């Protein structure tokens, strides 16, 4: 049987320690499926992990993530690590950080909430619980547990 290996990337981002089964959602929130990719994107799912048992990995060549993209990833994969690759070397590595307050990333489920109106304000949620994730709107107090379905 021929073995297929994923080759290292020269420049780009490796998102490691993604919660198992969430790699395709990470690709979706990064807009890779919608906008297309100009470089190689590798998705590894159900990879053995000493720390987590199993994990997913996403490798994106020739792209570094914006801070708001990292914030979105923290909502669905709170143990993920972001590795910045330059010239085949890891230049920087850090864990995502789930903030105590989430601003402008998630939309409120309450259609009457002021954050869903024409008012020029960002949505704002307090993190009530981290595992499983539960957010509360700062304006109308509506709780949101299905963050992925309400992500902007």
pLDDT given at position 2: 61
pLDDT given at position 52: 85
Sheet strands side by side (includes 89-95) = 41-49, 53-61, 12-18, 81-86, 89-95
Angle, alpha carbons 60-64-70 (nearest 5°): 95
pLDDT given at position 133: 93
- The residue count of the chain comes to 152
Using alpha carbons only, how large is the chain's radius of gyration in Å? 17
Angle, alpha carbons 111-32-130 (nearest 5°): 55
> Can you give 42-105 as a three-state secondary structure string?
EEEEEEEECCCEEEEEEEEECCCCCHHHHHHHHHHCCCCEEEEEECCEEEEEEECCCCCEEECC
Q: Cβ(65)–Cβ(92) under 8 Å?
A: no
**How many helices and strands (H and E) does the chain possess?**
3, 9
Q: Is 141 helix (H, G, I), strand (E, B) or coil?
A: coil
CB-CB neighbours of 106 under 10 Å = 23
Q: Which residues of the chain have pLDDT under 70?
A: 1-4, 35-37
The pTM of this model reads: 0.87
CA distances in angstroms from 114 to 95, 108, 110, 119, 142, listed in the order given: 33, 9, 9, 7, 12
């Amino acid at each position: 049987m021929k073995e297929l290996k994923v080759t290292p990337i020269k420049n780009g981002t490796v998102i490691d320690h993604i919660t198992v089964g969430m790699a395709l959602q990470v690709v979706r929130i990064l807009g890779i499926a919608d906008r297309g990719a100009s470089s190689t994107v590798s998705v590894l799912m159900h990879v053995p992990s000493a720390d987590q048992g199993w994990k997913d990995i996403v490798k994106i060549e020739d792209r570094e993530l914006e801070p708001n993209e990292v914030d979105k990833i923290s909502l669905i994969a709170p143990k993920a690590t972001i590795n910045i690759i330059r010239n085949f070397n890891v230049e920087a590595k850090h864990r995502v950080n789930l903030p105590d307050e989430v601003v402008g990333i998630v939309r409120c489920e309450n259609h009457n909430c002021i954050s869903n109106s024409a008012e020029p304000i960002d949505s704002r949620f307090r993190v009530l619980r981290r595992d499983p994730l539960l957010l509360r709107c700062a304006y109308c107090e509506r709780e949101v547990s299905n963050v992925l379905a309400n992500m902007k």
